[in-house]
Amino acid sequence: MFGFYNSLSAEVYDLDKPIGHSFGDIEFYLDHLGGVNGRLLEPAVGTGRLLIPLLENGYDVDGFDLSPDMLAVCRNNCRQSGVAPKLFEADMTDFDLGEEYGTIVVPTGTFLLIHEREKSIAALRQFHHHLKTGGKLLLDVFLETDIQLGKVSVKQWDCPNGDTITLEAKQVEVDYIRQYVVSHHRYERWRNGKLMESEQERFPTRWYGVEEFSLVLQACGFEVKEISADYKRGVYPSKPDQVITFEAVKK
């Protein structure tokens, strides 16, 4: 039985990308949010890596995630950081909060976890619905540049209690027409040489072309204001392995 962002996965995410860990994105978003009007929303908030720095910089931010295990880690991180945002469990494709936001931020390619095109478009329409007129969407995507079916990679993390968590990832499926790739992940917790816990995860990711995604945003009612590469504001992508950030506003 395959899960998705269950407890071991959430623990690894928190170990690998702790609160405040930046790929350049936190500084980039703070620069874009200067003078923002209204509350912020972070869909797929994860463990709070970005959410908590935004809160600590004085922004009023709500967050949600589909994974209860990720939300549990996020709530604990918020308590330890002395912040108390509104957090709830929801799906990007069909959430309905009954309110509008000034800005929605979706960092580090999280949006691409919605690998089915129709559902990803449904999520964009939900973002549009939950923004004020003139509200801003900041969203990262990336291209898949290293597809090798059968390729296996292994990583490990040392936990504060002395346990070790290993991750074995294997690419098992690619659909070049529908533009997604699927990996299978196996997480294992080891203690004193004994296997204590194991999880399996099906991990699909989608990709969009740069101009393609601009057209999709426009079709969903957005006006694309800026496209940036590797968190350098206004620097248009020039290499396939760059993180690509779209800034779009609700018309």
Whether 1 has a pLDDT exceeding 60, the answer reads no
| pLDDT > 90 fraction of the chain, expressed in percent and rounded | 93
Residue 34 binned pLDDT confidence (cut-offs 50, 70, 90): confident
Domain with residues 7-143+207-250, CATH architecture: 3-Layer(aba) Sandwich (3.40)
Over the chain, what is the mean pLDDT?
A: 95
Would the CA dihedral through 169, 172, 174, 175 be positive or negative? negative
Segment 45-52 mean pLDDT:
96
Query: Would you kindly state where each structural domain of the chain is located, as residue ranges?
Result: 7-143+207-250, 152-206
Segment 211-235 shows an average pLDDT of: 97
Find residue 202's DSSP bridge partners.
Answer: 184
**% the chain with pLDDT above 70:** 98
Task: Give pLDDT, residue 2.
Answer: 60
Residue 87 has pLDDT above 90, yes or no: yes
